[in-house]
A and B are shown apart, each in its own frame.
Chain A
Amino acid sequence: MIFGLHPLLLVTFLPLVGFLIILFLKAEQKNAIRWTALLTSLATFGASLAMLAQFDPARGDLQLVYRTSWLRVGGISIDFYLGVDGLSILLVLLTTFLTPIAILSTWSAVEERVKGFMAFFLLLETGMLGVFLALDLVLFYIFWEFTLVPMYFLIGVWGGERRVYAAVKFFLFTMFGSLLMLLAILVMGLQAGSFAWNDLLAQRQLFAQTQLWLFLAFALAFAIKVPMFPLHTWLPDAHVEAPTAGSVILAGVLLKMGGYGFLRFNLPFFPEASLQAAPYMAVLAVIGILYGAAVSLMQKDVKKLVAYSSVSHLGFVMLGIFAFTQQGLAGGVLQMINHGLSTGALFLIVGMLYERRHTREMSAYGGIWKVMPILGALTLIVMLSSAGLPGLNGFVGEFTILLGAFGSQVLNSPYFAGAATIGVILAAVYLLVMFERVFLGPVRVEANLSLKDLNAREVITLLPVLVLIFWIGLYPAPFFDLINPSVERLVALVQSMAVLAIH
């Protein structure tokens, strides 16, 4: 209990307090609105740390459970049911960590309609936290679908030139997947007489016959969100048009909802179907890794490059998940965090450049290091983290995933990991090329000579991310300690099925 409130309730709904305060502020009080949003999101981060303090990492089960009946439909209860375990706790922390950073990044970037922007941002935070914490499937769906609305507005109102197209595409793509998931949720809930996650898990034998269809319905919703090749086409549009803070949250957190969905629902509910689907999913993941990297190589626009690199990086996450090994899954969870940090930071950097020069074409830059040494140095670290340099966070995640994929009995082939390794090399190529074109060499464009280096606020925005990049890179053990017990349970569950399937 924190202030007499359940910690998960506090974490989930604290942003709404800021949202309500902002509603009552005048649109002209821009700074008051900004500070309210920042302080609320910082308080939420604090609350999530308090949640972490009460979390026992040694147990792999659901903790800090809050459950109260919400409504009954025909004898089946829909509960307000929250809980956290090793699969979700880091994602919750990532959300509460990135939100204040994203808000800080908008300080001078968003000047128009600040009130609406911050209001939607805090709504979005509550929605995302709810997705990671909800354990009733209807409640999960409500949070899941609700995140669409604020993100749709963030892209559509504050985005770039083709923002309306990108926003509608984002909305419709995601909704398509989630509607099928809703149907699967209804079918399962009616069969089992409950929408609660653990009840459905206990009764998963009921879905033995239909599990392939149910698996596909859930997988479609999550694969669109991740996004997996070939369902990724909404992502570059959404990323390129979204405002910086929107891109940070989109890449940092929203995409993780897809990966999390696979871990929380697909694997435990439908282990046999997951095993059946694993080779296909792994093939799509590897195609995503290579395709995303290849397309990144060809980009002239920095933001598009980072967007496509997301497709590639999340391919690793999916490969790790569908390797069904302890390392693969744990690496997948950690890589989601890593991607949130490095890609979030890359989007922040792109935003900082864009704010100064109002272009994202790499040809408009060159030699920026000479004018902006602080930004250059920080970018180098973030870029190397994204490329997977040992000693930084990206390496830990990717290496663990590759290890898991090599050792996977389910995939039973070294080619998956082998092909994915090529993706690591390609990532180094396109990131280094990008760095070279933007930061190295002589200053070719005169307008760049007068660029101002980062101010204190911008350094403060990036610094916390860099701390975590080093921390995870040098000493990942505390993070794995949080993840591992829950992953072990998941692996044990799926492997018991695997034994049945192989023999």
Chain B
Amino acid sequence: MNLSDFILTLPILVLLAWALLLLVVDLWVPKGRKGIVAALAALGLAVTIGVTLSQAGNGGLAFQNMIMADGFAVYLNVLYLVSGLVVIALSHDYLKRMNLERGEFYPLMFLSIAGMMLVTQAYNLIMVFLALEFLSIPLYVLAGLARERPESEESSLKYFLLGTFSSAFVLYGIALIFGATATTGLSEIIASVQEGAVNLPIFLAGAALMLVGFAFKLAAVPFHEWAPDVYQGAPTPVASFMAVAVKTAGVAVLLRVFLTAFPTLAAEMAPLGWGIAALTMLVGNILAIAQTNLKRLLAYSSISHGGYLLMAFVAYGNPQVAGQAVAAMLFYLLAYTLTTFGAWAVVISVEQADYQGLELEDYAGLGLKYPWLGVAMLVFMLSLTGIPLTMGFWGKLFLFRAAVDAGYVELALIGLLSSLISAYYYLRVVVMMFMRSGEPRIRRDGWLSLVAVGSALAVVGLSLLPNQILQMAAQAILSLQ
């Protein structure tokens, strides 16, 4: 251990220290003035973003090759931290309204974000496992935050049981890989593969088990069953955090481990990935049609978006295409983050204090009575469908491009047809908002409106200048390869 280890992991350390600080400060902040804690939490995230960005140029390995700092991590870490900021904006009023203002909320979120940053930077399978647990355990608690509601408890318990189940898969996979290669370091694994000292069947089984474990985190079909129930029962801002940040972390760890340690298994993994991607896109979208509860609808929608991401992941084995595919995924994650948070902000605006207002009927006439909120939601629905002049369109275009480039035209076709299915249920929300009359009630809160309208503007505005963001994403993957 030396100084450079600490410098390279400084953002995570700052975040952890700030989490502890918040926990203490909260004790002295009286009820009714919890805004101070929220502001302090936001400041902490802003500082961490600054520290992260200041490290954009210099990277390297830290703590005996356990942790990697590179452009890939910077891009994603900023995404997690910004997600955290958005979640603060979404939860501040919500927690007050639902009487959930507990001191541990923000610190737990900080710990989970620190786990996400670690999992993105993990360069050793042991580290991967520890970080996955580190990001998940605070979320089990957050899902059960509304502990007097049985739904919230159910959500927490379900998430916990299935989360440990998936961790077991990852751990078993790690054990097999260690058995096959006699190491857990990502770069040592590939070195030992190149030396030819690997028991291939065991190695392959280990990698497949890890893929299954990650698929759980990503809520990919057939490991998706938990997502709708957990999202529905969890406090809505927590659900949005899970839908965005946890999925992003799942993609990050998938890319990190498979691109660094298992590039040689690409041919064997491709059919598995292909199947999971196709199933996830189709099943997620088809099941979403039947939903009338917005939280469940967005849950299935987020499942299907995981499928689109996996579609590009299938292309990773082709070295000419891998870089493009990863850049496309990073771009898509940004588009997905903006769009999904916006949509959840609208859901939180419409949700009532008694947990009502989540059904599709509650949106009748929303666009007519509250045009700003309605148009913002329209933008999100179009972006999730992939209609042009939204970030979602470019994101999908780049993903499909990567799949076609890698020769998976059939998979792209499945993806395109499943986005046709998705158009149907996203349009149902639009129909409700603009083509039915009703008396919608919303919660007026400046922060919520800011997230909704700001995301909508970003989704449309950035779609006019996609080049800059795409170049940024392309820069971020350079060091990965």
A residues with CB within 8 A of B: 70-74, 113, 138, 141-143, 145-146, 148-149, 152-153, 156-157, 163-164, 167-168, 171-172, 175-176, 179-180, 182-183, 186-187, 190
C-alpha gap A142/B466 in the complex (Å)? 13
B388 touches A163 (CB 8 A): no
The B interface, classified by DSSP as helix, strand, loop or mixed, is: helix
What are the residues of chain A within 8 A of B472 when measuring CB–CB? none
A179-B416, A187-B404 given as contacts; is B398 within 8 A of A145 (CB)? no
A153 touches B434 (CB 8 A): yes
Smallest Cβ distance from A501 to chain B, in angstroms? 27
Smallest Cβ distance from B207 to chain A, in angstroms? 27
Q: Which residue of B lies closest to A70 (CB)?
A: B467
A73-B470, A148-B387, A180-B416 given as contacts; is B431 within 8 A of A168 (CB)? yes
Of B2-10, B18-26, B417-425, the stretch lying at the interface with chain A is B417-425
User: B98: CB under 8 A from chain A?
Assistant: no
A73 touches B404 (CB 8 A): no
C-alpha gap A179/B416 in the complex (Å)? 6
Return the contact of A186 from the options B323, B324, B388, B400 (Cβ within 8 A).
B400
C-alpha gap A73/B404 in the complex (Å)? 13
A164 touches B435 (CB 8 A): yes
Return the contact of A190 from the options B405, B417, B419, B435 (Cβ within 8 A).
B405
A186 touches B435 (CB 8 A): no
What are the residues of chain B within 8 A of A187 when measuring CB–CB? 404, 409
B404 touches A74 (CB 8 A): no
A74 touches B405 (CB 8 A): yes
User: B382: CB under 8 A from chain A?
Assistant: yes
Smallest Cβ distance from B8 to chain A, in angstroms? 31
B417 touches A179 (CB 8 A): yes
Range of interface residues on B (Cβ < 8 Å)? 20 to 34
A156 touches B324 (CB 8 A): no
B324 touches A74 (CB 8 A): yes
Q: Which residue of A lies closest to B405 (CB)?
A: A190
C-alpha gap A142/B435 in the complex (Å)? 25
C-alpha gap A175/B386 in the complex (Å)? 11
C-alpha gap A144/B70 in the complex (Å)? 40
A73 touches B401 (CB 8 A): yes
C-alpha gap A183/B427 in the complex (Å)? 22
What are the residues of chain B within 8 A of A70 when measuring CB–CB? 467
What are the residues of chain A within 8 A of B424 when measuring CB–CB? 168, 172
What are the residues of chain B within 8 A of A141 when measuring CB–CB? 388
B435 touches A157 (CB 8 A): yes
Smallest Cβ distance from B360 to chain A, in angstroms? 13
C-alpha gap A26/B82 in the complex (Å)? 35
A-B contact pairs, 29 of them (CB 8 A): A71-B467, A72-B467, A73-B398, A73-B401, A74-B327, A113-B368, A145-B387, A145-B388, A146-B389, A148-B387, A149-B387, A152-B427, A153-B434, A156-B435, A163-B435, A164-B431, A164-B435, A164-B436, A167-B435, A168-B427, A172-B420, A172-B423, A172-B424, A179-B417, A179-B419, A183-B404, A183-B412, A183-B413, A186-B400
C-alpha gap A73/B427 in the complex (Å)? 30
User: B393: CB under 8 A from chain A?
Assistant: yes
User: B397: CB under 8 A from chain A?
Assistant: yes
What are the residues of chain B within 8 A of A149 when measuring CB–CB? 382, 387
A176 touches B389 (CB 8 A): no
Task: Map CB proximity to A onto B139-173 as digits: 1 under 8 Å, 0 otherwise.
Answer: 00000000000000000000000000000000000
C-alpha gap A152/B400 in the complex (Å)? 25
The CB with the most chain A CB atoms within 10 A, among B368, B393, B434, B436, is that of B434
What are the residues of chain A within 8 A of B466 when measuring CB–CB? 71
C-alpha gap A145/B420 in the complex (Å)? 13
C-alpha gap A290/B231 in the complex (Å)? 55
C-alpha gap A71/B382 in the complex (Å)? 22
Task: Map CB proximity to A onto B55-75 as digits: 1 under 8 Å, 0 otherwise.
Answer: 000000000000000000000
What are the residues of chain A within 8 A of B413 when measuring CB–CB? 180, 183
What are the residues of chain B within 8 A of A180 when measuring CB–CB? 413, 416
Other contacts beyond A175-B423, A180-B416, A190-B405: 11, CB < 8 A: A71-B467, A72-B467, A72-B470, A141-B388, A148-B387, A156-B434, A156-B435, A183-B412, A183-B413, A183-B416, A186-B401
What are the residues of chain A within 8 A of B470 when measuring CB–CB? 71-73
Q: Which residue of A lies closest to B465 (CB)?
A: A71
A71-B467, A74-B401, A172-B424 given as contacts; is B409 within 8 A of A183 (CB)? yes
Smallest Cβ distance from A238 to chain B, in angstroms? 14
Return the contact of A175 from the options B327, B400, B401, B420 (Cβ within 8 A).
B420
C-alpha gap A172/B387 in the complex (Å)? 12
Q: Which residue of A lies closest to B398 (CB)?
A: A73
C-alpha gap A158/B397 in the complex (Å)? 32
What are the residues of chain A within 8 A of B419 when measuring CB–CB? 179
Smallest Cβ distance from B23 to chain A, in angstroms? 45
C-alpha gap A168/B425 in the complex (Å)? 10
Q: Which residue of B lies closest to A72 (CB)?
A: B467
Task: Map CB proximity to A onto B285-326 as digits: 1 under 8 Å, 0 otherwise.
Answer: 000000000000000000000000000000000000001100
Q: Which residue of A lies closest to B389 (CB)?
A: A146
Q: Which residue of A lies closest to B404 (CB)?
A: A186
Smallest Cβ distance from B410 to chain A, in angstroms? 10
C-alpha gap A156/B430 in the complex (Å)? 10
C-alpha gap A73/B423 in the complex (Å)? 26
B416 touches A138 (CB 8 A): no
Smallest Cβ distance from A187 to chain B, in angstroms? 6
What are the residues of chain B within 8 A of A153 when measuring CB–CB? 434
What are the residues of chain A within 8 A of B416 when measuring CB–CB? 179-180, 182-183
Smallest Cβ distance from B407 to chain A, in angstroms? 10
What are the residues of chain B within 8 A of A156 when measuring CB–CB? 431, 434-435
What are the residues of chain A within 8 A of B404 when measuring CB–CB? 183, 186-187, 190
A190 touches B427 (CB 8 A): no
C-alpha gap A113/B435 in the complex (Å)? 12
C-alpha gap A157/B434 in the complex (Å)? 7
The CB with the most chain B CB atoms within 10 A, among A74, A153, A168, A182, is that of A74
Task: Map CB proximity to A onto B108-119 as digits: 1 under 8 Å, 0 otherwise.
Answer: 000000000000
Task: Map CB proximity to A onto B451-478 as digits: 1 under 8 Å, 0 otherwise.
Answer: 0000000000000001100100000000
Q: Which residue of B lies closest to A138 (CB)?
A: B397
Contact residues of B between 160 and 189, Cβ < 8 Å to A: none
Q: Which residue of B lies closest to A163 (CB)?
A: B435
Q: Which residue of B lies closest to A147 (CB)?
A: B388
A73 touches B435 (CB 8 A): no
A74-B324, A146-B388, A183-B412 given as contacts; is B423 within 8 A of A171 (CB)? yes
Smallest Cβ distance from B456 to chain A, in angstroms? 14
C-alpha gap A74/B424 in the complex (Å)? 32
